[in-house]
Structure 1
Amino acid sequence: MSIRLRLTLWYTAILSATLLLLGLGLYFFLHYFYYDNLKSEIEQQAGGVASRIKPQIVNGEFVLIPNIRDLPKTNNVFYQVTSLSTWQVIELPDSEQTGIKIPNMTDEKVQCILKGECQFERISIQGYSFMVYYVPLVQQYTRNVLGIMQAAYSIEQYENLLALLRLILTVIGLISVLIAASVGWFLARKALRPIEQVIAATNRIEKGVDLDKRIEYTGPNDEIGELTQTINGMLGRLQNAYTELEEAYGAQRRFVSDASHELRTPLTTIRGNMELLEKMWKQTALTSGEQDHAKMEMTLEAMHDISGEAERMSRLVNDLLSLARADAGFQMTKDKVELQPLLDEIARKAQLLPKTAEWIVGQTKAAEGICVYGNEDYLRQLLFIFLENAFKYTEQGYVRLDTLRHGGQIGIRIEDTGIGMDKSEIPHIFDRFYRADPSRGRKSGTGLGLSIAKWIIDEHQGSVEVKTRKDEGTTFIIWFPIAAELNRRAAQAEDHSLQPRNQV
């Protein structure tokens, strides 16, 4: 949820609570005011009427007989007298003329009235609302209660007025809440607009990697202004740090590239001269004596060691040069490369690699007629890196090459039965100079091959899938997007039905 929406909801909630409290306060105040005055008015009028109802002795008993001629004329008040001795109901003139009949009382109701707990009651008579006031009629000398007078006052106008008030308060409250929400949204948007400018500016800087840009702010020096100044200061420091880092990184890349170039020439000279000396010593050894022959053999072994180390250094220098090109943003030339002839060439040359494992070329029919967009030399180097690693770490068993297809991608699978790896090592195998475990340390290598392979895969918009198990082997599947199909009838190889076609 955005800050703008939260602020709007807060504004709306506060205003709604305020309006609700004000509306309820006003409603209950008017409700109490009106009905309290009404009760006082009814009580005053009913008391005057009750004073005119005199008990008379008829047949030895007190009987309530109202003096009708002396009753006051009232508006909206209807009277009814109930004698407690005979339960006779006497309707006063106003009630008789209007037809308004107040409901009769029960014993429970009478007891409640006599206790003073039910003086007022709101009831509905013929669909109209009335306020009923109960007045006990007491004999003056004996203080006996002879009957109860009911005074019913029509409160329909009050009910209509309060209903109208409720409607007005509800409508005004809803309209006020909607207006407050709209105004709150507008004010929040206006207040947060500088923050939106900050976000937009930082996004432009992030996408463009241009630390020279700064956030423009022309508003007051408030919290947002201080935030903008802080971010601009931070960008300045980042720009300085980034510039220094780029300069140092560029110097490092230039050093590695220059050193690699400079080392390649003497190493090539050393290797060439050592090969020439080896040939010369071998020819001399054929004509020398036994003692001289032993010395020549020792010298020849030393030459072999020097030649081997020079060759290893040459590989290291070539790898460093490739990675230096990758770091420098080297863009390789690309074109459509037909995959099957490249795989045939690699399968033939892989027979000449140093190996102790069996070399198997499985089904590569999925690659027939398939072209990928890339650089043929680098693709060749990529596959030889994986094959050389597979032969290096597989002392027995086999190394196998297959192809498979999935949708718009072609996969090259290189499987071996070598020493394998722990799953925890997989995320690091493409790191530079990383050697997976101590057992791999017994094998010669620089730890740069898979780093170069990963760079080549990324440059071809490909991906690599790794499946491995300790002491059981490793499988690499290199996926490339298909650029074109020269032969659309080429059969697609299935992963579970691969059969070897050639063994070496």
Structure 2
Amino acid sequence: MSIRLRLTLLYSGILACTLVVFSVVLYVLVGRFTLHWQEQALAEEAAQILTQGEFRLTVIRTPQGKVAIPQTFVQTRDLSGQIVSRSINLGSYELPLSDKGLAALTSGQANGWLEIVRTDNGRLLIYSRTVVANGQTVGILQVARSLADLDRTLTTLRQYLVVGTIVSTITAFFVGWVLAGASLRPINRITQTAREIGQARDFSRRVEYEGPNDEIGALVTTLNEMLTELQAAYQQVEHALVAQRRFVADASHELRTPLTTLRGNVELLQREPPLPPEEQRAILQDVTVEIDRMIRLVRELLTLARADAGLRPRWEPVQLGPLLEDAVRQAQLLRPRPIVRALGTRDAVVLADRDLLRQVLLILLDNALKYTPEDGTVEAQVVVENGCAGIVVRDTGVGIDPAILPHIFDRFFRGDAARRGDGTGLGLAIAKSLVEAMRGEIRVASKPGEGSTFTVLLPLETSVGDGERGDAHRLVAAHRTLP
């Protein structure tokens, strides 16, 4: 059963119950009020009959019709209950009086007695009261009226109420059906839109709603917020799948060359007759170089895979000066030439991952040393700018062609022939991924033949005071003036 039908039935049921209760109460009140009015009218008529003259026992025994009133039936009895006289309109019918009523009247327990009796012509309302003359009760006067008109009126009222209740309920059902459909129409549009979004997997689409901010408006708002979360999750999953496919493609592409070289060298070593010992040693040395290259490549690919999977840095305050000095010493051990001059301040503190930041510095320093001639220089410097702090690595090497500068951070990109070396083309891509994982920024500026400048900026540690930041700025400015 649909919500629309349930709501319509609920509306109709509530209205029907309300109309039934109202009809019953109205019917009972009208019946009781009309009957009470008839009782009062009979009592007044009885009093009027008694006040028409001085009633004595002989008056009560007058011939029939003596006390007749149109549309009213009159009858008198003596104290024993015997009928004394009747009005002409009674004909042969005698107004009854129950033994209980007779006893109550004759004993003085009640001045008047009401009874309703059923006849062939309908109900009859009878009012009986005692007649007192000279201080003594001399008889009983009975006045009656037919309730047929009242019963017909109540029957007609009952029919009108039943028909009105049925018609009102049916009308309310159709009106409720239309109103429920109009109220639920936005929900139908929401359902249709959600179905289309699910079929097309277009989570960028939103449910349009221009109505009031009621329950349906809150539902649309919640659904749009859920679509935003689904879009973010879907994009994250899609990005992870793309990164996975790219990782597999890059790994297969880069590992193909060393594996092919290794296979060729192994086939040479298996040749019969064997190669001379000098050639075998050269082949083994080549195998060692290729294996080292493969190990380095796999390590770098795993680092990129971690970054693509959502690397979570271990946040801690990192003082850039000591970290830069350690990175410079480690870089000089790997490539003794040329000279690295470390300039900076020990007071600049950033919020970062110490190990990841050291790896970024080693990549930048290694690149600078690799592409700088022996008579050139490499400078590493701590800088503070615009609420951020970082390290600048500047060299006087071969520089980068402006045409390829936008692609310098692409994976497996080795640039022009002047910058091709023994690298894998993943170093700068790894550096960029690690810096972005630490919510930082890396940029490069270069001129061919003059050198390159790489800048890494990270957010300053919030616990560093304003005085310490001012000292850091002054120390950086002082270092920038050094030759």
- Under TM normalisation by the shorter chain, which class is it? 0.3 to 0.5
Over alpha carbons, which structure has the higher Rg? 2
Structure 1 length-normalised TM: 0.45
Structure 2 length-normalised TM: 0.47
